[in-house]
Amino acid sequence: MIHQNLALVTGANGHLGNNLVRLLLNKGIPVRGSVRNLKNNSAFAELDCEMVQADIVDKSSLVLAMQGVKVVYAVGAAFKLWAKDPIKEIYEVNLQGTRNLIEAAAEAGVKRIVYVSSIAALNYKQLPAKEDNGQNPDRRDWYYNSKNDGEKLAFELAKQYDIELVAVLPSAMIGSTAFGDLSVSYQIIKLILTKEIPIETKISLNWVDVKDVAEGCYLAAIKGRSGERYILANEKCVSIKQTTEIAQELFPELQIKLPVQVPKLVLYLAAWLMEIGSKITGKAPLLTTKDIAMFSGLQQDFDISKAKSELGFNPKSPVQAVKEAMLYLRANHDSLIKV
């Protein structure tokens, strides 16, 4: 399938990748989607889309996937905030994946890349955070480090190989539909609906509709300036407590209670015990001491004027995005949400 407008979406069966493939097809753009395992492409069965096997840690697979491609949407990455060995499982995967991706693009003759970074790569010292305030100086989290260092490496290599690269930085993506496993952001909404966040953490998230982020990626491909970063988020964040209030209003029959205020020491103790449990089970803890240290009280507010004016990015409100995600989960994952 060779076409002058052929687009490759890596990580196509992820939350953003899935929505992006559909958006591009709706715009009449031929799409090739890459997944690590071709057995995991059932979500694309009804779509007129070529699926190929590729892994960001395997450069040769990326070179093959990029043959005849005009624009690469680099979506695939290790997106998890906890791992038994975070340096190996998150940081090294994302850094090597970025290097492989840009080098493969150079070998395959790709001229333009939309690189999906993250709001993790923004500097929160001055709020609202914006693109030109530089990278995030907080080095306590290996996922955050991987997004900061990965984005920096992507720009350096793109310049070296004379490839146009535009970075987009999405926030917590949810929406009215989920494909495959629930994303990290969706899991938080689910935990609220299943009444599993009993304690007030003072953590806020910047909710954004994944379909708006997919549109922002497309706009970055056609309008974004090479070498620039664009925040794909909402201006204001919403606390877990406020998100719980939205759930209360939507589903009074669930009788969801607001998280209870506890002393910070108790919060740290609860998180510490969860981390001990995770070392035994190998499953991610609900809360870590690092989460509290880094995110409790942090306002994820952004200046999105650059994405609005240069790309035409116009996201729906965070409250609307949350409501649609909750209604979707209630309708489609009802077995998880007992009245």
Alpha helices per DSSP H over 251-303? 264-281, 289-295
CATH architecture entry for 7-179+208-234+299-336: 3-Layer(aba) Sandwich (3.40)
CA 339, CA 327: separation in Å to the nearest integer? 14
pTM of the model: 0.95
In a 3-state reduction of DSSP, which class is residue 84? coil
Per-residue pLDDT of the chain (339 residues), as tens digits, is 445 689 999 999 999 999 999 999 999 999 999 999 888 777 888 899 999 999 999 999 999 999 999 999 999 998 888 888 999 999 999 999 999 999 999 999 999 999 999 999 999 999 999 999 999 999 999 999 999 999 999 999 999 999 999 999 999 999 998 887 888 899 999 999 999 999 999 999 999 999 999 999 999 999 999 999 999 999 999 999 999 999 999 999 999 999 999 999 999 999 999 999 998 998 899 899 999 999 999 999 999 999 999 999 999 999 999 999 999 999 987 655 554
302 bridge partner residues: 129
* Per-residue model confidence as pLDDT tens digits over 130-145: 999 999 999 999 999 9
Q: Radius of gyration of the chain from Cα atoms?
A: 20
CA 73, CA 316: separation in Å to the nearest integer? 23
Domain boundaries, the chain: 7-179+208-234+299-336
DSSP 230-253: EEES-SS-EEHHHHHHHHHHH-GG
Cα 291 off chain centre by: 17
